[in-house]
Structure 1
Amino acid sequence: MPSKQPPPPPPPPPPPPPATVLVTGANGFIAQHCISALLSRGYLVIGTVRTEAKADLVRQTHGLAPGLAVVVVAGDITRPESLLEALAGCRCRCRCRCRCRCRCRCRCRHYHHQRNDHDNNNNDVVAILHLASPFHYRLVDFETDMMRPAVGGAVAVLEAATRLPSVKRVVFTGSFAAIYDASAGPVPEKTYSARDWSPLTYRDGTHAPDAPTAYRASKAAAEKAVWAFVQDRRPSFDVVSLCPAMVFGPFLPGALPSSTSDLNTSNGLVWSVLSAGTDRPLPPTKAPVWVDVRDVALAHLCALETPSAGGRRFLLAAGTYCNQELADVGRRLLSTNFLHRIPLGRPGTRESQSHFAVDASEAEAVLGLSFRRLDACLADLVPQLYEIERMANRGEEEEEEEEEEEEEGEEFVIYNLTVVD
């Protein structure tokens, strides 16, 4: 853990754009926003995924951006060789080593994968953003499906980084789950910060009673393994750990899920509140801290570029929220045609006095972040959620001529509130 390691001499910061950054788990919700931020900044990005289908989705999301390469890590992700072998085939098709920014006008759009080709760009990678981590509710074996991939995958990335001499920094994406002590309950007088740690262990994860508990244990065990690696191995690169709360926010235009059942966990929570129906009671708030995905992506960029961030751990949280607040904001955002979808609850009441607080001031001070408000976040997310539902329902309907003509004459109004950040 970062608080126990003696301060090593700081390595030089990663070179500025157009340096190359490796992003693991490139098809994930947060990772897609990180890639977008990196490309906008001028970085070259190599993203890793597990299947070719996911690679195609990432490429399409970013419009076949010339600065983006996507490679498939097909082997065991707990072995550093799996990542290194995937990187070994990442090169420009025209062999000009131009990183798709050449002056030869070769029209190369991305790199291709060719195993055992050592005429490659491995030595160009100056930083790694490790975002890949497993989680879904349909797990069968917590150790095989969650604990080993999370912990072993994180250590494998660090081990691989030691074999890439150009790497100066690794940004590890942790979670508030590695900070929060669920066994303590709400504890209204408690304020969590980056100095707190979950007491869950690897064994707690393998013997967890449910998937959420196993997930919290996997995030805590993985991050502890990262800091143990740094302390024991003293690599030439440094590490920054980011621990975001529940991550809400809009999807990138090219990455809208095909249905609301495919939403990421956090946005799925928002949808479960905003679509439950007026006559349904509001469920209790289980994870009352949140952050906007765009702020999380910016935090990764700042963690990459801020020299003083090295060797530190940051909590990323805009603050607390409750499901009543989600419902209240949603009712302000939606037109009257959709108000029947949202439980009324007790408008204006808040659960903040019965929940803990969070302190993310260190991230604001060191990384220069300014977190978005909840209403600004939902103003961009909620219209997307209802549009996803509309398009999914439309795809299930029979393509009858009368329905098509009727739809052409309708105007679909989703929201009526403009929020200025």
Structure 2
Amino acid sequence: MNEPDGDTTAYSDVIADSETFADRARRRAELEREAVEWAIDELESEITAQNVVLGPLLEYARRSRASLPERHRRAYEAMAEVFDVDSDVYEVYVFAYAELCEELAGEGGRSEKHPQGCTNALVIPSRLESNGGETPDTGPLVLKSRDISGRGTRPKSIVEQPPIDDYYGFLTVDTCGTISIYKGVNDQGLVAANTYIDCNRDDVAPETQLRNGTVIRMLLEECATVAEARAFLESHPTRQLMSQTLFLADGTEGVLLEIDPAAERIAVDDDPVVTRTNHFVRSASTETASSTTRRQRALELLDSMDGINRDKLWTIAQDHENGPGDDSICRHPEPETDEPHAFGQLTTASAAVFEGGSPVIDIATGNPCELERTRCAFGDEIPTDLRTGQRWLERRQ
């Protein structure tokens, strides 16, 4: 386990005198500028080489942008002003990255959606490692393994937002230069993380469809407990949400929600140990071989563990059974995958272990089998190269 050392930065120092979402987004963009500009340049080169037409992707991106809360829209606009890149490519990078990767992969190529990525798990305290036979005095643990396409053109950084106005602060590892959040813990100890399910409605316009990355960020900013998060979701028409499995945990409670907009239903799984990949278990959905294989492997590993802790969850994130490629939990490129299809194959971009009720997370920006975990805490000094995306960038240049 790597504790922060060397060159570190407290985000409170970076955003001194920043009192609006736009100001804070601008400061964050300045931190991540080199990583984002590298990624956009790489994507622009691929787009040019493969003659990809951005028009339809840009239209979808702009319609999706209209669904954002005003504070997130202002944050996006402030970030866009900082980067010296093609504005259209940047907008697609933020709002239509998966769709762009499908285009760049070509016909028959792999994509972020087919087969889908990510493997998550949740363990409540009664199944956690204990001392002297007593239930440990900790919150539920949540593992989030994030798989994405694009061969590294989605750089990762530690993203931290201190409280602002009436909104809670949060801490996570996520994509540089974007306003979406797909997992994290807030300063109240609420954890939220998701996996994508390909089961959305075709009759809901992008302007009114609440994107997964928007939902999770709003939960972290507006809710302190699992109960409040569930009430937030119930206050929105389920048909207007995007399909996902959503893991929620606070200091005492953990639950998995299968959010199915097609059936306008939210199914609840509150078993002591829960894992999901990219298909529903308690509702109907599409199901790829990759999703089935990864979930079955995660279940086998969890069932074999007597007392589960952060270390044991991390071994699940590092697992290579059925790999390399689409079927393993820790996903690496398949050697035989040729360009341009290689651009669409998913690989593991980050791993994180969260604890409900705790502002401390263990993270790796890349394949967790190759990297030491770094422990980060909300409000503390954090390695500067993790805040800027430089740690990601240096491994790829």
Higher relative contact order, chain-length normalized (CA < 8 Å, sep 6+): 2
Structure 2 length-normalised TM:
0.26
- Higher-Rg member (1/2): 1
Structure holding more strand per residue: 2
Structure holding more helix per residue: 1
